[in-house]
Amino acid sequence: NNATQATPDSQPKIVENGALLTDGIDFDGTDDFLSQSSGFSLTGSDDLSFFTAYKPDVVDTTMDILSQANGTGTGRSWLTLQNDADISSFLSGSEKRFFTASSTTDKTLMSVVYDDSANTIDGFKNSVAGTQGTSVNVEAADGVVNIGVSKGGTNLFNGSIEEIIIYSSDQSDKRRAIEESIATANGIT
């Protein structure tokens, strides 16, 4: 599904001086974000995989790349860059930190795979595995997925997002191929 933003002042920039931006969609960190136009459903017993290529413009601030906007669950941030340079997910309502990394404004490929039957959540930064979370218990939710903002409208992303792919399935077996395709298309090593 396509993500949209009806408020012109909150639309991230995709074109400058008549040309597409080369680093993807540019979010200003002030009021720009996108929302998926139709509901995204999680039953609480679904597998989930998502992949994103992004490049933050700033460090030392908390920014959300993906979040659940509303719905029957409590809502959560799917992918957060913490102000101390950690990368984490609140997919289950509690924080799972994947990396404690040095602050960087480099292009990054981040992959997250939740396996409901194993009850694990794995994060991969540029195809390198981070700390695995266990006992995740993803909450059921029907709602909109936000790009570039938290559920409450805070933690706005400042930087560019080149690609986001979300699967309501476990893509562990295809993860490397998906990552290689995204990395090649976006110049990430």
Is residue 66's pLDDT more than 80?
Answer: yes
**pTM of this structure:** 0.89
pLDDT at 114 over 90: no
Q: What percent of the chain has pLDDT over 90?
A: 40
Dump pLDDT digits (tens) for 44-61: 677 889 999 999 998 888
pLDDT number for residue 102: 60
139 vs 153, residue with greater confidence: 153
Fill in the DSSP letter of residue 81.
E
Round to whole Å and give the CA distance between 88 and 85.
10
Q: Phi and psi at residue 163, in whole multiples of 5°?
A: -160, 145
- The DSSP symbol for 9 reads G
DSSP state of 172: G
| 13 and 20 Cβ atoms separated by less than 8 Å | no
